[in-house]
Amino acid sequence: MSERRVRVRFAPSPTGALHIGGVRTALYNYLFARQHGGDLVFRIEDTDSNRFVPGAEEYIIESFKWLGIQFDEGVSFGGDKGPYRQSERRAIYKEYVQQLLDAGKAYIAFDTPEELEAKRQEITNFQYDCHTRGKMRNSLTLPKDEVERLIAEGHQYVVRFKIEAGQEVLVNDLIRGEVRVKTDILDDKVLFKSADQLPTYHLANIVDDHLMEISHVIRGEEWLPSAPLHVLLYQAFGWEETMPQFAHLPLLLKPDGKGKLSKRDGDRLGFPVFPLEWHDPKTGEVSSGYREQGYFPEAVINFLALLGWNPGTEQELFTLDELVPLFDISKCSKAGARFAYEKGIWFNHEYILKKSNEEIAQLFFPIVKEHCSDETLERVVAVTSMMKDRVSFVKELWPLCSFFFVAPTEYDEKTAKKRWKDDSAQVMTELMAVLESIDDFSLENQERIVHEWVEQKEYKLGNVMNAWRLTLVGEGKGPGMFDISAFLGKEETIRRMKRAIEVLG
Ligand code: GLU
């Protein structure tokens, strides 16, 4: 079987925004497909019409576009094994349900919701299974003509999978090894409902994985309990030979403790759990997204790739392409991965450093333009190169750098109290004269001349620089003073100093 072509799929149900855990599942599928020269299929599992949310499918597609995860076939990507939207495959499922019925591996059950509820009241932990099915209203207990009559009269029914007692199912999982389950504890899962003529997730999922020639099923741990049933379905259809290999990925855990990561954790601690901002069409609620919060897609990918897997080295920064050969599904952890969202912020910072000043400046430029409509890109690049190592997000640059573009009109009271001494006005007036006399206003030249002057006057360099900073910045922050003055230029530097001396006295 090793020569089998690798084909994996990401198969979300369009029930809302794509959770960040789903993004990681898709990413691992992508890496696995690429490293084996295989195919990644995008399938929409929309057989549960009650949970269908308009816009969810488009949202998911846009998310992957933003993240740079490319599918080879599937909904909106083409391919010759479609349709890839399950709601468009009804006829196919009906055929396979019939096949199981004909083989006696599934049966028709007429029990109404009320009857089932009555059973639940009567028997504690009631389960529709090998022990109870003989006492229920189904095609195993009713005469054949009665079954036909009920169907002809339009009574609603479901098709259930007949799980044989006394057997053991083996799930071979690439991450968890051999998982064995006794069939006695499994219930006869519903595979098809006459009411909407639609299959359930289990049936549709297996039929499609088979018909789409899926070789590996890589999905979240929450699907592990379904895996024995899926193995039994493969066997019931006689498809053991091409049964995919399973790999159930570790759960994403809360950042601060045990339990599954939830949207509430994000709301509580202030990080997004969705790739893109999501506008819930039902409630109108808006949930933040990594894109809108200013994360780079590369940073999100890098962060997620290391949640549940690591390359076994100290290296932490990887591009998507670099991850492809390194990723190893068998080295994924079984234990849940703590969603350390601060690490995501750290990755974003690293990508700010990694990207060129020009690239970051291009993103910062429109923000600067909002405040100063005639700023030039060149000046924004200069500021970016001085300041980008101090931020994790481009949006943090403006509050930090606005003084480069807008002269201070007020002076921070606390800083002034501490830094503006009795002689500051006089010293700044002298410094103004020194600066005035400099023709070559380059950083190095200013620095040399100003230092000479400070030495000659026997001033304290720290005091001079602190007061000077207050005049140019309006507070006690910012990069080196000569970086600032060189950027502002002689005229603007002196203008700001004059004004500060006037105001501060
Ligand atoms: N439709 C399922 C989901 O929403 C797919 C699970 C699987 O990959 O088998 O995740």
User: Considering 193, 254, 263, 331, which one is annotated as catalytic?
Assistant: 263
**Nearest protein CA to atom 8 of ligand 1, as residue:** 219
Could you say which of 309, 324, 352 is where a domain stops? 352
Pocket test for ligand 1, best of 223, 230, 231 (most atoms within 8 A of CB): 223
Q: Provide the token pair at 67.
A: 């993240």
CA of 203 to the centre of ligand 1 (A): 12
Pocket (CB within 6 angstroms of ligand 1): 11-13, 45, 205, 219, 223
Residues 247 and 106 occupy one common structural domain: no
Q: How many domains would you assign to the chain?
A: 5
Which residues have a Cβ under 8 Å from the Cβ of 490 and sit 6 or more positions away?
A: 435, 436, 438, 441
Residues 101 and 190 occupy one common structural domain: yes
Residue 278: helix, strand or coil by DSSP?
strand
225: CATH: 3.40.50.620
Question: Is residue 257 assigned to a domain?
Answer: no
CA of 48 to the centre of ligand 1 (A): 12
Question: Is residue 184 assigned to a domain?
Answer: yes
104: CATH: 3.90.800.10
CA of 220 to the centre of ligand 1 (A): 8
Residues 268 and 248 occupy one common structural domain: no
Question: Is residue 390 assigned to a domain?
Answer: yes
The reply to whether 263 belongs to the active site is yes
Q: Which one-letter DSSP state was computed for residue 131?
A: T
Whether the Cβ atoms of residue 357 and residue 384 lie closer than 8 Å to each other: yes
Strand order, beta sheet including 158-161: 106-109, 158-161, 190-193, 198-199
**Nearest protein CA to atom 3 of ligand 1, as residue:** 12
The H-assigned helical ranges of 90-238 are 90-102, 113-122, 144-152, 201-211, 227-237
**Nearest protein CA to atom 10 of ligand 1, as residue:** 12
By the 10 Å C-beta count (0-12 exposed, 13-18 middle, 19+ buried), 139 is classed as buried
**Per-residue tens of pLDDT for the chain, all 505 residues:** 457 999 999 999 999 999 999 999 999 999 999 999 999 999 999 998 888 999 999 999 999 999 999 999 999 999 999 999 999 999 999 999 999 999 999 999 999 999 999 999 999 999 999 999 999 999 999 999 999 999 999 999 999 999 999 999 999 999 999 999 999 999 999 999 999 999 999 999 999 999 999 999 999 999 999 999 999 999 999 999 999 999 999 999 999 878 999 999 999 999 999 999 999 999 999 999 999 999 999 999 999 999 999 999 999 999 999 999 999 999 999 999 999 999 999 999 999 999 999 999 999 999 999 999 999 999 999 999 999 999 999 999 999 999 999 999 999 999 999 999 999 999 999 999 999 999 999 999 999 999 999 999 999 999 999 999 999 999 999 999 999 999 999 999 999 999 999 999 8
Q: Determine if residue 445 is left, alpha or beta; phi over 0 gives left, psi from -120 to 50 gives alpha, anything else beta.
A: alpha
Residues 491 and 400 occupy one common structural domain: no
Could you say which of 181, 198, 215 is where a domain stops? 198
Could you say which of 186, 217, 252 is where a domain stops? 252
Pocket test for ligand 1, best of 89, 201, 251 (most atoms within 8 A of CB): 201
Residues 393 and 422 occupy one common structural domain: no
CA of 85 to the centre of ligand 1 (A): 13
Question: Is residue 20 assigned to a domain?
Answer: yes
Measured from the Cα of 45, ligand 1's closest atom is: 1
Whether the Cβ atoms of residue 96 and residue 206 lie closer than 8 Å to each other: no
Question: Is residue 19 assigned to a domain?
Answer: yes
Provide the terminal-to-terminal Cα distance of the chain, rounded to the nearest Å.
Answer: 85
* Residues facing 180 on adjacent strands: 170
Residues 191 and 113 occupy one common structural domain: yes
Question: Is residue 258 assigned to a domain?
Answer: no
325: CATH: 1.10.1160.10
Strand 158-161, strand 252-253: pairing:
unpaired
Residue 263 counted as an annotated binding residue: yes
Owning domain of residue 323? 263-352
pTM: 0.94
Question: Is residue 316 assigned to a domain?
Answer: yes
Question: Is residue 85 assigned to a domain?
Answer: no
Residues 430 and 394 occupy one common structural domain: no
Q: 251 φ, ψ to 5°?
A: -65, 155
